[in-house]
Structure 1
Amino acid sequence: MAQAHPTDGMPQLTLDGPVAIIEFCRPTVANRLSPNDLEVLNAHIQTVDQNPEILVLLLKAQGKYFCSGYDIGALGQSSAPSSLYFGQTVDRLEQARPVTVAMIQGGIYGGGTDLALACDFRIGSFDCNMFMPATRLGLHFYPGGLRRYVTRLGIDQAKRLFLTAEKIDASEMLRIGFLTDLVPATELGIKTQALLETLTQMAPIPLLGVKSHLNQIANNDMDFQAIEALVRQSERSEDLLEGARAFKERRPPKFSGR
């Protein structure tokens, strides 16, 4: 396991074979993200995207909160970027090459909820809760986040959460589709690890290709030619032959990504 950055309060990146882990390390301030944190987060995503061995990116956090979003106190500083920069960072996470998983414990608030929505999977524990206070605080939310709320949760739930700033618990988060799975806190790590193992055992070409194209389709941006090209690439791949052999021999396949 290779640690790319030491723990210094900023998001920490760890590489572990086909899995990359980004951990939020400011538990005393509910893991809110400052402009400097966002720069580090962008750099981590770039590092992961450029490493072809990484198939899965896990987001996790220290303490009893997952993330409370952008440090809006920074908006009062003349040198601080707009909250649009937070949105651009989350857009980049959504577009990341690997499959993304958010392991959510405790509270998740504001832009932190959008950070999780940008992930492909969101596993939460029963002590989770969330709310979106932007409107109550006087802040108009950025475009990518509004799109994610509507495409992933539906227009009615997006209006409910944005326009009322209602706080909801874990069971309601699961019911409306914010969480993809909900487990007791003692099983959160176990459930997440099982998902990571399942994902890393898949054939890389369709795993990463289908993830990307499903997101594009959800955003009304379906590229038939690009999908057809990946279908043909997968049909010519060594992995397809290996998958067929493994199925015939009743053994787990050993994919190479070729």
Structure 2
Amino acid sequence: MLPPAHPALGTDKMLSRKAGGVGWMIFNNPERHNAVSMEMWLAAEQILTDFAADPEVRVLVVTGAGGKAFVSGADISKFESERGSAEAVAAYQAQTAKVYEALADFPKPTIAAIRGHCIGGGSALAVCCDMRMATEKSTFGIPAAKLGLGYPLPGIRRLVHLVGPSFAKELFFSAKKFSAEDARIMGLVNRVVPDDALDALVEDYAATIAGNAPLTVASVKAIVAEALKPDPDEALCDRLVRGCFASQDYIEGRRAFMEKRAPQFTGS
């Protein structure tokens, strides 16, 4: 049983919890299918900053409350108050970009646990995660072309890296909703399971990753990011690999293997 989640930054629309090496960031606006307001984006930034700095958190899970949606995008009911002028649009876009970048660059593994609608900003948020696990009835879509919205380069680049240019164009050009199986075929999600199996799947992956060697996991995350760049920092990659072999965790991993026991990694 997971411990209760707590409100972040004074709003009950964003919740967080820490348990067993896993941090959970929960979008909690179920009456609006977890549509996101400015106050929620601000709280999300705070949660990510806290989790990134906490050595006890080795994995981050991002999910939505209520069972009907992961995140359904921006809260359109707040467009007039939060995005009614050019200045307000710029401020909103800057804050969402901060959260997307903080999640995409998060130094630890990230998992999106998707149940229900994953639309617009929800899809952009999920794409920022390292892995996406979804239920069979989840739906995905980017309705920007039906709303006249523009999408900046970083978000489109992340999507193209994930699904390729053709599927990225299909998602944007059509603005259609796609099934979880469609998303799996595109490469948008890693796993699709029945609704009642999602929690166990995500908790198992998160616990497994949290129990693995943090330096190895972090090095692979960083090296994959470099591999996607046209001019990767090979010196950085080499340092990360050498750091793994020079660590106490490498000694512990060898000893645990020889002694036929589970290793106890410390990240040092």
TM-score normalised according to structure 2 size:
0.91
Which amino acid in structure 2 is aligned with residue 111 of structure 1? G
Q: Match for 1:34 among 31, 37, 40?
A: 37
Question: Is this contact kept in 1: 2:11–2:40, CA < 8 A?
Answer: no
Question: Where does residue 11 of structure 1 map in the other structure?
Answer: 14
Question: Where does residue 239 of structure 1 map in the other structure?
Answer: 249
Please give the residue correspondences for 1:119-130 in structure 2 after superposition, counting only pairs within 5 Å. 119-130=129-140
Question: Where does residue 53 of structure 1 map in the other structure?
Answer: 56
- Mapped partners of 1:216, 1:4: distance in 2: 35
Structure 1 stretch displaced more, 196-205 or 10-19 = 10-19
- Mapped partners of 1:219, 1:28: distance in 2: 40
Gap runs ≥5 in structure 2: none
Gap runs ≥5 in structure 1: none
Question: Is this contact kept in 2: 1:2–1:16, CA < 8 A?
Answer: no
Q: Per-residue CA shift, 1:195-230, capped at 9, x if unaligned? A: 012101110111112112212322435211111111
The 1:93/1:11 distance shift into structure 2, 3 A limit, reads same
- Mapped partners of 2:220, 2:12: distance in 1: 35
Moved over 6 A (4+): none
Question: Where does residue 217 of structure 1 map in the other structure?
Answer: 227
Question: Where does residue 74 of structure 2 map in the other structure?
Answer: 70
Question: Is this contact kept in 2: 1:123–1:192, CA < 8 A?
Answer: yes
- Mapped partners of 2:222, 2:73: distance in 1: 25
Paired residue secondary structure (1:10): strand
Aligned residues: 258
Which amino acid in structure 1 is aligned with residue 240 of structure 2? L
Within the alignment, does 1:25 sit opposite 2:28 as a pair? yes
Question: Is this contact kept in 2: 1:70–1:86, CA < 8 A?
Answer: no
Q: Per-residue CA shift, 1:218-254, capped at 9, x if unaligned? A: 2435211111111111111111011011111111111
- Mapped partners of 1:71, 1:129: distance in 2: 18
The 1:4/1:221 distance shift into structure 2, 3 A limit, reads farther
Question: Is this contact kept in 2: 1:135–1:163, CA < 8 A?
Answer: yes
- Mapped partners of 2:42, 2:241: distance in 1: 36
TM-score normalised according to structure 1 size:
0.94
Q: What's the offset of the Cα at 1:70?
A: 2.3
